[in-house]
Structure 1
Amino acid sequence: MYMLLYDGWHKIEEIIANIKGREVKREKIIIKGGVSGIVINRDNKVLLVKQYRPCVGHYTYELVAGCIDKDISNKEILLEELQEECEITKDEVISISEKPLVEYYMMCGSSDATMSIYLVKVDSKSINKKVDDVDVEEIVWVTVQEMEEMKEKGLIKDGKTIIALEKLKNYFKNDY
């Protein structure tokens, strides 16, 4: 049983949960799940997108990602996002991992929406450039060390990119 409290892009529902034998009211945020990619090129550089995030009031550097809001597979959504946000075509994609490297609840205490992070290898040059996308300002190719420095400077703050950084440290453990 629930009652809708807000019906916008994000929805908030009031739910009744049974916790330790007691019925309690809680809010559940209904948001779309997401899919993202740790995109690595032949130079072993990682692709990040720079975009303005109005809710936090500044630019961030993040993995390429998109909402699961179409009736297509996660991989197809990821391919569309690579084209739209990064101008990387399907022909440049060498491989996408069969399963996500990581899948987690984006806001476990408030929502059941998940983020699935895939490993994507591409045959693209390490050229930082402005892109013609409604959300993304530019794409940058960085090393894992540069990613770590960006995180320390506060340029990388979102969960998926920080989780990816930890995965990448292990992936490149001999080079890091």
Structure 2
Amino acid sequence: MNKKFEEKTLSSKGIYKGRIINVKIDEVQLPNGKTSTRELVEHPGAVGIIPITADNKLIVVEQYRKPLERSIVEIPAGKLEPGELPEVTAVRELEEETGFGANRFTYLQTIATSPGFANEVIHLYIAQDLYDIEEPASLDEDEFVELMAITLEEAEEMIADGRIFDAKTVIAVMWMRQNLK
């Protein structure tokens, strides 16, 4: 890793400890020797799954996102549990959110979601050779989703009209465009 512009932490103060995130303020020494403060969100990380059906449709969920005050269409995703490997989270989240399992999971990429203030990364996996799970694990009690299977063309329309709005799902559609023609 290139540390050319590294900021050295001089002090760190936790200001919020939550169920999903922690927030802290760090005082840092900049590369030019001056100091500054950074407001940082700590997140355990997450996975996003790109489930592709046998007829090359993308399985997505529509759900309400409070920070955006609206519903958006997204690939299935979820946060890592303590000590859980991303590939285990991917299998669990695919089942919980869609009722599907996959015979083939392929790691695609890890992305930083908001590196200006958060350390959250999302590990992206492609799930293929899908099958129905007879009695799938249920969604979290505060999770409400509608399941859809959409074509590449429908996904691109949803990006254009803003129903698909998040980076991980846009990446999924870009992957489909490059790999499923």
TM class by shorter-chain length? 0.7 to 0.9
2: CA distance between counterparts of 1:50 and 1:158? 12
Q: Give unmatched runs, 5+ long, in structure 1.
A: 126-131
Shift in Å at residue 111 of structure 1?
Answer: 1.6
Match of 1:146 among 142, 154, 158: 154
Match of 1:71 among 78, 83, 86: 83
Number of equivalences: 163
Q: In the alignment, which residue of structure 2 is the partner of 1:128?
A: none
CA RMSD of aligned residues (A): 1.8
Match of 1:111 among 109, 118, 131: 118
With over 3 angstroms needed to count, the CA separation of the structure-2 counterparts of 1:123 and 1:8, relative to structure 1, is: closer
Q: Give unmatched runs, 5+ long, in structure 2.
A: 1-10, 133-137
Q: In the alignment, which residue of structure 2 is the partner of 1:54?
A: 66
2: CA distance between counterparts of 1:77 and 1:123? 17
Instruction: Please state whether the residue corresponding to 1:101 is helix, strand or coil.
Output: strand
Q: Which runs of 4+ in 1 moved over 3 A?
A: none
Q: In the alignment, which residue of structure 1 is the partner of 2:28?
A: 17
Maintained 8 Å contact 2:15/2:25: yes
Q: In the alignment, which residue of structure 2 is the partner of 1:45?
A: 57
Matched to 1:95, the amino acid is R
Shift in Å at residue 8 of structure 1?
Answer: 2.0
Query: Is residue 86 from structure 1 mapped to residue 93 from structure 2 by the alignment?
Result: no
Q: In the alignment, which residue of structure 2 is the partner of 1:5?
A: 15
Tell me the percent identity. Answer: 24
- CA deviations 1:54-86 (Å, max 9, x no partner) are 221221110111101232221111111111111
With over 3 angstroms needed to count, the CA separation of the structure-2 counterparts of 1:124 and 1:11, relative to structure 1, is: same
Segment drifting more, 4-13 vs 25-34? 4-13
